[in-house]
Amino acid sequence: DGGITQSPKYLFRKEGQNVTLSCEQNLNHDAMYWYRQDPGQGLRLIYYSQIVNDFQKGDIAEGYSVSREKKESFPLTVTSAQKNPTAFYLCASSRGQSNTGELFFGEGSRLTVL
């Protein structure tokens, strides 16, 4: 089945540690995205990539980093510089090379900082 796989589903981190969230897609989509979801707020865009080896900052990129070395993979690193990292993180992809609303989402990764 085609889709987006995020791992791990749940992750606990101590303050000061970097963590990397995995996102893999087999939909052959060009564009991939990372969103953060907090209670009472809409999804907020962290980073997006429209093509391999290229990515752009979204609205809340500070404290995060990404890479796009392969079309299928778009990992997100939450660094120790992120002041409030506890959240639900969603990876998504879309067919086109523009930021289209027809997004396909993974099941999310819930990060908790202890």
Partner 1 sequence: QKEVEQDPGPLSVPEGAIVSLNCTYSNSAFQYFMWYRQYSRKGPELLMYTYSSGNKEDGRFTAQVDKSSKYISLFIRDSQPSDSATYLCAMEYGNKLVFGAGTILRVKS
Residues of this chain that interact with partner 1 (CB under 8 A) are: 4, 6, 40-45, 90, 92, 98-108, 110
User: Using alpha carbons only, what angle is made at residue 24 by residues 21 and 25, rounded to the nearest 5 degrees?
Assistant: 145
Question: Which of 31/113 has CB closer to partner 1?
Answer: 31
Centre a 10 Å sphere on the Cβ of residue 69 and count the other Cβ atoms it contains: 10
* Residue 80 CB neighbour total at 10 angstroms: 15
Parallel/antiparallel/unpaired status of strands 10-13 and 109-113: parallel
Least Å distance between CB 59 and partner 1? 10
Smaller CB distance to partner 1: residue 41 or 84? Answer: 41
- 38 vs 69, which CB is nearer to partner 1? 38
CB of 25 to partner 1, least distance (A): 12
CA 6, 92, 80, 42 dihedral sign is negative
At closest approach, how far in Å is the CB of 16 from partner 1? Answer: 27
